[in-house]
Structure 1
Amino acid sequence: MAPSFAEATAVRAIDSHTYAVDLNTEWCVGSVPHGGVITSVFLRVAATHFSTTLAAQNQPHTISLHIEFLRRTQEGAATLTVRDVKLGRQTSTIQVSLSQEGREEVVGYLTRSNIDTESGLSLKTQWTLQPAPRPPPVDFAMLAGGEDPNWIEETDKPFPKFRKVSHRVRNFLPRAGQVMPGVVDQWLCFESGEPFTDESIGFVSDHFPSVIGGLWRTERKDKPPAFWFPTAVLNLDIKKTLPPEGIDWLFTRVRPKSIKNGRMDLEVVILDMAGEVVALSHHVVLVVGAERNLAARRTSTKI
């Protein structure tokens, strides 16, 4: 039985600045733990570190995250080491590095604050999702049962044996189709029924149907092959916290601006059930053959 998301991203303290996690195969793409899982593990390490070692800072919320995926991770044990980079009254920043078998594989910086006590200038920006039109309305009471007139669950997921993590989430797409090729709108929830929490935002920022499919079919008129999309860089700007008890649904809109020479950007907008912006994320992503995911690990420092 697959562990829940909370179980799959649980961290335990080894000492004041070192934490451990076990990366489970059911939350992998091929042999590599999903990038969103790793991002959420970093968020959990920060939450644990600031509720224990740095509790006196009273900064319970991550407001920004920057992660560099240096090398492929793998399922199994990993160690995360924290360095307190800057401790301040309003914000504090830590560096977190994830290592396996002596290899430093992922590094990141996370900035913490207290969103509940923030004060200062607030203005209405008149921002809306682009391109128009906005996604259709949703009835959450009908959505999970497949009865919402505007949204339908994606059940025929591509390459499900390769993308094992796709079984851990239910995602619902517009019945009338996406607003345009290259844009992916979805509502999603955990297959386990557990709610999304602040730490889940990392996973949501990196889990969505491929934007490649619609663009490939539009340009090349056939079915795309099996690709792997390893994230090289992920940035996350968190605008609001989720309720302590969590929420059942989150919305994402994903769109690239350029796909060229096997590299693409991704912009991810995350909204809550009230339509308010929860977080913004930007990625640098490589587009490579799926065989790269399963290839034997090299002894050099290359990906």
Structure 2
Amino acid sequence: MTTFADVLPVQQLESHKYSVNFEYDWCIGTVPNGGYVTTAFMIVASKHMQLTHAKRQQHNVVNLHLEFMRRTAVGNAFFTVKDVKMGSRISNLHLTLSQKDEHSDELIDEVEGYITMSDMSTEDGLSLDTGYKIWPPPLPVSLPDLSQNRDKNYIKRGRDPFADFRRAGQNMIMHLIRPEQRPAQFPKALIDQWVLFQPQGQKGRHTNDALGFVVDIFPQLIESYVNPDLEEATLGQDLSKDEFNDLIRKKAEPHAKYWYPTLSLNLDVKKLLPEEGVDWLFVRVQAKKIARGRFDLQVEVYDESNDLVALSTHASLVVSSSRNITRAKKDKPSKL
């Protein structure tokens, strides 16, 4: 069964330097999906603790903050790790992702982040029941029925309306609320989904490594405003590619109008998933304010037992999709 560690193999170059290859099938346009990049950071951090600091047994990411300064690209990505603080229970790392500029071959710093590492299997300390409940409450689900696409509240999403542009989304099977079942009190800028991992068409399972991708892959909620009939048209459709494209042409523009690049992403991991992974995860995504070309995302991830697995917040932009495919020379080269 495929996990994200299989999708993103890491090569250690030196004790604090690593490389990963970003692939085309995980892109939005020409840019690797931000969640895909986030997971690369998580896997590199875990690999660093396993190889360079093996005695510490701290290979689980418990907290992460990333700043996306420049667009990443398909191809080799180089990670430089700085050991900020090595502790007996918690260790802190600083990671920088660099890639060669396509015009000069000089290395450019593109994404930087701080990651907190620990051994979640040995965590011991005060635990209290806060009584927190996700609100509004999600609709009930029968996962056996959902696996057959027969659940009364959720239905499998068909092809993405702009699948050639948003290729990364094809690596996840999403089940969304049936339009006729959506409660009136649910805000428009809220998405509930049950997701299965399907890397490049293969059956996969969610592990903690995958959480960076899980919190950043979902139907773009702004599309429900700019293309209000489009998402409903994708649900439950079992059409050929030509039939689907013809349907989409009747509902919206032929190309994605917007691109939603991530400015910063925070991830707080609450639970260690089984090493062999799990099939289903529930994800709620909500925006609180969309204004002046910027918006926020609040993300909650739960397992099949309704236990909170992770929280995430994003700051993102709304820009023309043409900004994604038009690449300019990068500035401020750095040395690996």
Question: What range describes the TM-score normalised by the shorter chain of this pair?
Answer: over 0.9
> What is the RMSD of the two structures over their aligned residues, measured on CA atoms?
1.8
- Most deviating of 114-123 and 190-199: 114-123
For residues 309 and 44 of structure 2, the distance between their equivalents in structure 1, rounded to whole angstroms, comes to 20
Alignment of 1:190-209 (within 5 A): 190-191=197-198, 192-209=202-219
For residues 10 and 263 of structure 1, the distance between their equivalents in structure 2, rounded to whole angstroms, comes to 33
- 1:83 is matched with 82
For residues 158 and 277 of structure 1, the distance between their equivalents in structure 2, rounded to whole angstroms, comes to 31
Is 1:228 matched with 2:259?
yes
Cα drift, residue 29 of structure 1: 0.5
- 2:284 is matched with 253
Cα drift, residue 60 of structure 1: 2.5
Q: Looking at both structures, which has the greater relative contact order when contacts are Cα pairs under 8 Å and sequence separation is at least 6?
A: 2
Cα drift, residue 299 of structure 1: 3.6
- Letter paired with 1:72: R
- Letter paired with 1:261: R
Specify which of 175, 178, 191 is matched with residue 184 of structure 1: 191
- 1:172 is matched with 175
- SS of structure 2 residue aligned to 1:237: strand
Contact 1:84 1:93 (8 Å CA) reproduced: yes
- 1:211 is matched with 221
For residues 249 and 4 of structure 1, the distance between their equivalents in structure 2, rounded to whole angstroms, comes to 13
- Letter paired with 1:22: N
- 2:155 is matched with 152
- 1:27 is matched with 26
Identical positions, percent:
39
Contact 2:258 2:318 (8 Å CA) reproduced: yes
Cα drift, residue 16 of structure 1: 1.0
Is 1:118 matched with 2:102?
no
- SS of structure 1 residue aligned to 2:55: helix
Cα drift, residue 229 of structure 1: 0.6
Corresponding pairs, count: 294
For residues 311 and 330 of structure 2, the distance between their equivalents in structure 1, rounded to whole angstroms, comes to 36
The structure number with the bigger radius of gyration is 2
Q: Which runs of 5+ in 2 are unaligned?
A: 101-106, 229-250
For residues 7 and 78 of structure 1, the distance between their equivalents in structure 2, rounded to whole angstroms, comes to 17
Q: Which runs of 5+ in 1 are unaligned?
A: none
Cα drift, residue 4 of structure 1: 7.5
Contact 1:50 1:57 (8 Å CA) reproduced: yes
Contact 1:213 1:223 (8 Å CA) reproduced: no
Cα drift, residue 223 of structure 1: 5.3
For residues 40 and 128 of structure 1, the distance between their equivalents in structure 2, rounded to whole angstroms, comes to 27
Alignment of 1:278-297 (within 5 A): 278-297=309-328
- SS of structure 1 residue aligned to 2:72: coil
- Letter paired with 1:173: L
- Most deviating of 116-125 and 160-169: 116-125
Runs of 4+ with deviation above 6 angstroms = none
- 2:299 is matched with 268
Is 1:106 matched with 2:111?
yes
Contact 2:265 2:312 (8 Å CA) reproduced: yes
For residues 56 and 4 of structure 2, the distance between their equivalents in structure 1, rounded to whole angstroms, comes to 28
- 1:40 is matched with 39
